[in-house]
Structure 1
Amino acid sequence: MHRRRFFALALGVMAATCGCDRLGDSGAAPAGRLTIVVPAPRGQGWDQAARALAAILTGDGLAGAVEVSNQPGGVGAAALSAFAARGPFARDGRLLLAGMPVVAGAEIANVASVMAATTPLARLVGDWTALVVSTNSLLRTFEDFAAVLRRNPAELVVGGRLDGGSDHVLYGMIGKCLGVDVRLLDYAGYPGGAEGVEALQEGRVAALLGSARAFLPEIAAGRVRPLVVSSSERIDGIDAPTLMEREIRLEYADWCGVFGPRGMSPRDRDEAVALCDRIDASPRWQALCAANGWNRVYLSGDEFRQWIVTETRRTRGVLGELGLLSSFDTSCWGSCVGRH
């Protein structure tokens, strides 16, 4: 008997070809049950995006029922291992919504990489990072911050989200770009943004890395002062330059994407990528992204797979320099600071 297709994705492709906004409008039955695994507790990380994705899948008629399965733990390595251990798709569809922390988590835990454990389908959205200080900080500009690091990389304690996560990796990249010894950087990870802001206000950290979107209320209220943002262009509501403007050739987002089970057939993979294309093109999804401040950074299929290979390589390099890998062959990347 021919096995059930990957939650009947072909129906979504057919509806798109016919110009139908909803699968139900084409007269075809909606797809079957789909589970979205997200390596974060409910209400944290990309859980909100997973639930928005579930609403789009059912609201646009792309799936009959969608369940969000939260599998927190560390920086996502546990969820990745569990997702991979269940083997190829067999009956009901399963997708993993994950991003940079899971890429890093797999490297730190020395388990199968994201590429080996899943089938990359599409990169959906990203969240830019801001570096902020308290309003009474003597660090008035990013140049002040960079000068201290160049003089003594261990002098400043910089806070952010969990050790080994996106903020920690970005700090390592900034240090590498500045030409400092990344092994000496002092980083303090916190489970949530509120704990990090509290540490900043109490002087336990000199600066704080985190979601630029999440910092907006703190910045507007004058409780923190931004020094720089990691986006390619300046961010509305944040009076701070980009790293690029400060001659740091670095653009970085805490991104999340969609992954399928490993071992998907080429046909299943193509149909799953087509579903992701429909999600990104959905006006409902675009409205949700705008409302939540998520930047659409869509990349799918082979282009996403190739990008993941490069992203994993550069992430592993930084983690090794930070001393977070059990074994690492140190090599010099060279500085990424613009020279004239």
Structure 2
Amino acid sequence: MRRRRFFALALGVMVAGGCGGANGSGAAPAGRLTIVAPAARGRGWDQAARALATILTEDGLVGAAEVSNRPGGVDTATLTAFGAAGGPFTRGGTVLLTGVPMLAGAETADVASVLAATTPLARLAGDWAVLVVAPNSLLRTFEDFAAVLRRNPAELTVGGGVDGGSDHVLYGMIGKCLGVDVRLLDYAGYPTDAEAVEALGEGRVAALLGSAGSLLPEIAVGRLLPLAVSSGERIDGIDAPTLMEREVRVKYADWCGVFGPRGMSPQDRDEVAALCGRIDASPRWQAVCAANGWNRACLSGDDFRQWLVTETRRARGVLGELGLLSSFDTSCWGGCVRRH
């Protein structure tokens, strides 16, 4: 199973936008670039980090690139060490490749936010989610699923990625939009898609939220029945409506973004914006995205930072509603479903 998480569209609408400097000129950056992936090899967005390192070198965008894994995910030490890493991007610098897991993890762990500890540089890709059940499930449609949640939110156990991650957040958003008390939602997190699918097959969870790209092969052979997708339009190969079609106003994708050390110079930030456009235009990168079912969603510079401010606020809102924050203002963060 492929597990996602690269440039993350977390919590809500995936904003369309271009990358600053996509047509910029100038020599390709020289020296070695280290891409920090806060996950074990093969987990999270590590696959995307390694694909990115290969493309950067094979397309001649940097002299050399390597991936440094930090399996511990988000903690104070990781963010502090990275934030102080320093080093100009174009002369052997370091960037962090992460998204929803670290953004949400920083909030739940009550450490410095990703925004405060890093320099947001660019978003490159997102990964839509799909809600699936076992083929023999009594839940045949999203309406069946929604009816059970409205009747008793704790009746269904829904599986997905790790607690507090993108799948968990999406489940909270769906519950909120259906008008249920999200504190009562029963969620089971698993380290990998394979383990989550196994739990669904054994009946330990009633439904599963996961990467549309990763679960597509299981859906194609009939081992999983899709009920809805989180994209704005229907996904080829998945016979299921969007959440928006079912009047649940959520368009959501896990996302992956590039972050630099705190205090990067404007010149270095501008060079990354230009590099973002070159990566997005690379046929190799486009092929990787297509193969994995990722959506190219390039957004850089101030546009990315402003988008990230909003997404961080939304993430905190959902995590607070789920009861995963030590302190939270319980004021409503907005309705999103038409009442009948």
Q: TM-score, normalised by structure 2?
A: 0.89
Post-superposition offset of 1:300: 1.0
User: Matched residues in 1 for 2:142 and 2:155: separation?
Assistant: 15
Q: Which residue in the other structure is 1:267 paired with?
A: 267
User: Matched residues in 2 for 1:155 and 1:253: separation?
Assistant: 26
User: Matched residues in 2 for 1:296 and 1:79: separation?
Assistant: 27
The alpha-carbon distance between structure 1 residues 192 and 148, as it changes in their structure 2 partners (threshold 3 A), is same
Post-superposition offset of 1:87: 4.8
* Per-residue CA distance 1:47-98 (angstroms, 9 max, x = gap): 1111111111111111111110011224677643431243564862111110
Q: Which residue in the other structure is 2:241 paired with?
A: 241
User: Matched residues in 1 for 2:235 and 2:75: separation?
Assistant: 29
User: Matched residues in 2 for 1:85 and 1:96: separation?
Assistant: 12
User: Matched residues in 2 for 1:239 and 1:328: separation?
Assistant: 38
Instruction: Please list every run of 5 or more consecutive structure 2 residues that lacks an aligned counterpart in the other structure.
Output: 1-20
SS, match of residue 131 in structure 1 = strand
Post-superposition offset of 1:278: 1.4
Post-superposition offset of 1:15: 9.7
Q: Which residue in the other structure is 1:68 paired with?
A: 67
Q: What is the aligned residue count? A: 319
User: Matched residues in 1 for 2:309 and 2:122: separation?
Assistant: 13
SS, match of residue 320 in structure 1 = helix
Q: Which residue in the other structure is 1:39 paired with?
A: 38
Which residue identity is paired with 1:61?
A: G
Q: Which has the larger Rg?
A: 1
SS, match of residue 101 in structure 2 = helix
Post-superposition offset of 1:276: 1.4
User: Matched residues in 1 for 2:256 and 2:329: separation?
Assistant: 28
Higher RCO, 1 or 2 (CA under 8 Å, sep at least 6)?
A: 2
Post-superposition offset of 1:236: 0.7
SS, match of residue 236 in structure 1 = coil
Q: Is the 8 A contact 2:125 2:297 kept in 1?
A: yes
Q: Which residue in the other structure is 2:25 paired with?
A: 17
* Per-residue CA distance 1:162-191 (angstroms, 9 max, x = gap): 000000000001011111101000000011
Q: Which residue in the other structure is 1:136 paired with?
A: 136
1:50 maps to 2:49 = yes
Q: Is the 8 A contact 1:182 1:322 kept in 2?
A: yes
Q: Which residue in the other structure is 2:15 paired with?
A: none
The alpha-carbon distance between structure 1 residues 150 and 186, as it changes in their structure 2 partners (threshold 3 A), is same
Q: Is the 8 A contact 1:77 1:105 kept in 2?
A: no
The alpha-carbon distance between structure 1 residues 296 and 73, as it changes in their structure 2 partners (threshold 3 A), is same
Q: Is the 8 A contact 1:72 1:79 kept in 2?
A: no
User: Matched residues in 1 for 2:65 and 2:99: separation?
Assistant: 20
The alpha-carbon distance between structure 1 residues 16 and 304, as it changes in their structure 2 partners (threshold 3 A), is closer
Q: Which residue in the other structure is 2:310 paired with?
A: 310
Q: Which residue in the other structure is 1:4 paired with?
A: none
SS, match of residue 17 in structure 1 = coil
